[in-house]
Chain A
Amino acid sequence: GQGVEQPAKLMSVEGTFARVNCTYSTSGFNGLSWYQQREGQAPVFLSYVVLDGLKDSGHFSTFLSRSNGYSYLLLTELQIKDSASYLCAVRDTNAYKVIFGKGTHLHVLP
């Protein structure tokens, strides 16, 4: 079936890195976005990718492989404050239809 899948939880250590994976299966593809969401708050936009490859945005980088229906969000030099949920959202070919994953809760350990 169609959908966006992410692991529910991820743990990593302060100062290292974390990779949040996202796989998707949709009828069409018109871009993928990553959002950060803290408990009780609205999602905050991080990145948007539509072409294959790695997009380096400093602390956050995103990778996309359209042929594999796969993306990841890479956080480097982790800080405790990076602990949050990270949502993957795929825009279907129907221009404004966006399908969200359930999010991956990242816990950064000291």
Chain B
Amino acid sequence: GALVYQYPRRTICKSGTSMRMECQAVGFQATSVAWYRQSPQKTFELIALSTVNSAIKYEQNFTQEKFPISHPNLSFSSMTVLNAYLEDRGLYLCGARVGTEDTQYFGPGTRLLVL
């Protein structure tokens, strides 16, 4: 079956530092990977969408300068949170989609705490 792994599951970083998180699709090739942030208030926000052979599209309020994403192949994507501050706290989820299916397979998320 389709599985999506995320690493690390939980991380703590000091305010102003950066951390990188990874997303790995196993058992299928992800034609697109979407990164989301679920805030402590449970708001679900799309950060960016990375589609094979297309430029990465960032949503309003999110920039490449703050959340650079690498999507080198159909199975792997990584995102870095640069210069993290308190408002960056939350659960970061990657959703991988196969072909044109609407189903997104989510990873378990990386929970980011900022001190």
What residues of B have a CB within 8 angstroms of the CB of A31 in the complex? 102
**Which residues in window 87-103 of A have CB below 8 A to B?**
87, 89, 91, 96-103
Number of A-B contacts (CB under 8 A): 47
Nearest Cβ on chain A to B30's Cβ, whole angstroms: 12
Q: A87 CA to B95 CA in the complex, in Å? A: 14
Question: Given that A87-B44, A96-B34, A96-B97 are contacting pairs, would A43 and B106 also be in contact in the complex, using a CB cutoff of 8 Å?
Answer: yes
A96 and B108 form a contact (CB under 8 A):
no
Is the CB of A33 closer than 8 A to any CB of chain B? yes
Number of interface residues of A (CB under 8 A): 21
Tell me the A33-58 residues at the B interface (CB within 8 Å): 33, 40-45, 48
* Complex: chain B residue closest to A95, CB-CB: B100
- Nearest residue, chain B, Cβ from A87: B44
B18 → A minimal CB distance (Å):
24
Whether the Cβ atoms of A42 and B106 lie closer than 8 Å is yes
7 shortest A-B CB distances, which residue pairs?
A: A100-B44, A42-B106, A48-B102, A42-B108, A102-B42, A45-B103, A96-B49
Sample of 5 further A-B pairs with CB below 8 A, known A42-B106, A91-B102, A99-B46: A33-B102, A45-B104, A96-B49, A102-B41, A103-B44
